Amino acid sequence: MCHDRDSEPPVDAGDGVAVAHESLVLEAADGTRLRAFAASPKHPAEAGVVVLPDVRGLHRFYETLCLRLADRGHAAVAIDCFGRTAGTGERDDDFPCRHHVERTTLDGIERDIAAGGAYLRSAERALQEAGVEHEVVTYPGAPHSFFDRKYEEFAGASQDEWRRVLAFLERLDGQPG
């Protein structure tokens, strides 16, 4: 189950604080160009998030998620993991994602994530460099892409996930930079 074009993160917009956002093209260390969407809070953030989209690549859901994170004071960049196989153009609903998923490599994804991280680090440091504790949380029974307003049966897990992400980012804001 992946997000539909009309899906939205199950969190409301922030308090109307102006955030900067832009569509951009990042370059990985090996020269590969990939599409991305970045959002920054009104005030400088100590923490940032690289958002990895589902198998269809970068689309509105992930752009909105970046905006919601920036609304809460955290920088975010969503990267398109198919820049290596599909270029930097936008994609419609007919995008043959399965073909591109099969051509995606771990090395390529790692390089693309690093490009997103480098973009964010231009203003802040990586988790490991900051020595920040972090955790992985799973929600038993929740399917892939459950973080969506449409799936009311996972509203509790979605709210818990959102609360944990914000608490994690708040802890990062208090770390030495």
Give pLDDT, residue 134. 54
Does the pTM of the predicted model rise above 0.95?
no
Q: How many domains does the chain have?
A: 1
> Does any domain span residue 64?
yes
Query: Is the dihedral angle over the CA atoms 136, 57, 76, 115 positive or is it negative?
Result: positive
Question: What beta strand segments (E) does 81-175 contain?
Answer: none
Give pLDDT, residue 15. 57
3-state helix, strand and coil shares in percent for the chain, rounded to the nearest 5: 35, 15, 50
Tens of pLDDT, residue by residue over 123-172, are 574 444 555 565 656 677 777 677 787 778 888 888 898 888 888 888 77
> Does any domain span residue 8?
no
As a whole number of angstroms, the distance between CA 68 and CA 71 comes to 5
As a whole number of angstroms, the distance between CA 77 and CA 37 comes to 5
Give pLDDT, residue 77. 96
Tell me the residue range of the domain where 169 lies. 20-173
> Does any domain span residue 13?
no
Give pLDDT, residue 125. 46
Tens of pLDDT, residue by residue over 67-125, are 999 988 889 999 998 889 988 988 887 888 888 889 989 899 999 999 998 898 775 74
Q: What's CA 144's distance to the chain center, in Å? A: 15
Give pLDDT, residue 36. 96
